Amino acid sequence: MLRVGVLASGSGTNLAALIDSIGAGAVRAEIAVVICNVPGALALQRAEAAGIPTVCIPHRTHASREAFDAEVSAALEKHGVELVVLAGFMRILSAAFVRSWHGRLLNVHPSLLPAFPGVASHKQALDAGARITGCTVHLVDEGTDTGPIVAQVAVPILATDDETSLHARIQRQEHRLLPWVVGLFAEGRVRLEGRRVHLELPPGDPDAFLQVPARA
* Residues at the contact surface with ligand GAR, assessed by CB under 6 A: 8, 10-14, 43, 87-88, 108-110, 171, 174
Q: How far is the CB of 14 from ligand GAR (least distance, A)?
A: 3
Burial environment of residue 3 by CB neighbours within 10 A (0 to 12, 13 to 18, 19 or more): middle
Q: What is the CA radius of gyration of the chain?
A: 17
- List, as one string, the DSSP characters of 79-102: TT-SEEEESS--SPPPHHHHHHTT
Q: Name the residue nearer to ligand GAR (CB basis): 104 or 109.
A: 109
Give whichever of 148 and 187 is closer to ligand GAR, judged by the CB atom.
Answer: 148
**Residue with smallest beta-carbon separation from ligand GAR:** 88
Q: How far apart are CA 22 and CA 19, in angstroms?
A: 5
- For the CB of residue 170, give the shortest distance to ligand GAR in the complex, in Å: 6
Q: Would residue 167 show up in a list of annotated catalytic residues for this protein? A: no
CA pair distance 94, 62, nearest whole angstrom: 14
| Active-site residue identified among 59, 62, 102, 109 | 109
Identify which of residues 103 and 117 has a Cβ nearer to ligand GAR in the complex. 117
Closest approach of ligand GAR to the CB of residue 7, in Å: 11
Between CA 17 and CA 19 the distance in angstroms is 5
Positions annotated as catalytic residues are 109
